[in-house]
Amino acid sequence: MMELKRFDDINKFLQTTKPILLENEVENNLILGVSLHIKSNPEKYQEKYLAVISQGNDIRAISICTPPFKLLFWGKAEQCKNEMELLIDDILHSKLEMSGALCLSHHALQLVEIWQDKTGQPFRTGMSERIYKLDKVTFPRTQFGGMRLGTQEDLELICKWMQEFHIEAVPDDPMTDFRDFAKKKIDNEDIVIWEDGEPVSLASKARPTINGISINLVYTPMQFRQKGYATALVAHLCQKLLNEGWKFCTLFTDLSNPTSNSIYQKVGFRPICDFQEYYFTELFVK
């Protein structure tokens, strides 16, 4: 018989789930990275949903949600109808408000269809994404300028570029306080800038797991595009992270953007698996 256990303690949740998630660390970098971030920054997450579904000693599914962000899900089997029904029943009982779901493509549609069956709430398709992994950098043949860390002197520019990135790349995601977010990223030395006489491109490291770390917020303003700046920046940032001891870098790409997918493959990223995002078209109120 399957049982669902909900966790309030992130440390106990990780103690239970980390060995399973590390079996496919790249595939699970999002759910594992978010869990580790909660552990390091518990004050940021006043509301969180952490659940494990087991059959005896066999863990069958893992799920996490940090509202207002989407539900994340890992399932052991390709078909997880029973696990998903148990999960959704518990979410409805908890009255958790979810904006949508994000997980492996073969799980995502199953999950939102079961949600719709149980609630009557419609959903719409979001971004189709691909996870890439890099463990060796291929540098572009030609590059102009160089990489440096972002500083507090760059704060206004970084905030502006973060907002432009949000509008262009992830307009459906919840808006954040870009100034506070940027300050913390700068203080943590997460942000890097490519400079060619002036700042021309931005990127960030994010969500460290155990052996890997992610790249995100890769953004070049329109007037500086098609000059190879983002390619050079991502290559140099990845090499910096590998030099620091990370075994690999990961990133998510929008499959509808062939340019970005091409850029990342040029510097050594290899496709691993596909994720699908769905949004519920209105907040569910039980």
d(CA 98, CA 71): 7
Same domain, 101 and 216: no
Give which of 33, 11, 20, 24 is closest to 213, Cα–Cα.
Answer: 33
Same domain, 123 and 17: yes
Establish if 285 belongs to a structural domain. Answer: no
Domain that residue 69 falls in:
2-129+276-280
Token pair listed for 130: 């691909």
pLDDT at position 285? 43
Residue in this structure with the two tokens 């496709």, named with its chain if needed: 271
Same domain, 107 and 33: yes
- Contact present, 127 and 277 (Cβ < 8 Å): yes
d(CA 251, CA 254): 10
pLDDT at position 138? 97
Establish if 227 belongs to a structural domain. Answer: yes
Q: Are strands 58-65 and 191-195 parallel, antiparallel or unpaired?
A: unpaired
Same domain, 43 and 141: no
Same domain, 246 and 188: yes
Establish if 51 belongs to a structural domain. Answer: yes
Q: Which amino acid is at 54?
A: S
Same domain, 124 and 186: no
Establish if 249 belongs to a structural domain. Answer: yes
Same domain, 142 and 258: yes
- C-alpha 222 chain-centroid distance: 24
Q: What is the pTM of this model?
A: 0.93
| CB neighbourhood size of 81 (10 A) | 13
pLDDT digits (tens, 9 = 90+) for 256-286: 988 888 889 999 999 999 999 999 986 544 4
The alpha-helical segments, DSSP class H, found in 23-136 are 29-40, 81-94, 105-119
Same domain, 120 and 196: no
Token pair listed for 109: 């549609």
Establish if 152 belongs to a structural domain. Answer: yes
- Contact present, 196 and 145 (Cβ < 8 Å): yes
The CATH number that applies at residue 100 is: 3.40.630
Establish if 286 belongs to a structural domain. Answer: no
Same domain, 110 and 164: no
Same domain, 21 and 57: yes
pLDDT at position 282? 66
The domain total for the chain is 2
Same domain, 152 and 62: no
Establish if 172 belongs to a structural domain. Answer: yes
pLDDT at position 61? 98
pLDDT at position 11? 97
Establish if 211 belongs to a structural domain. Answer: yes
Same domain, 105 and 160: no
pLDDT digits (tens), the chain, 286 positions: 899 999 999 999 999 999 999 999 999 999 999 999 999 998 888 899 999 999 999 999 999 999 989 999 999 999 999 999 999 999 999 988 889 999 999 999 999 999 999 999 999 999 999 999 999 999 998 889 999 999 999 999 999 999 999 999 988 887 778 899 999 999 999 999 999 999 999 999 999 999 999 999 999 999 999 999 999 999 999 999 999 999 999 999 999 988 888 889 999 999 999 999 999 986 544 4
d(CA 250, CA 207): 10
Three-state secondary-structure class, residue 23: helix
The CATH number that applies at residue 244 is: 3.40.630.30
d(CA 9, CA 12): 5
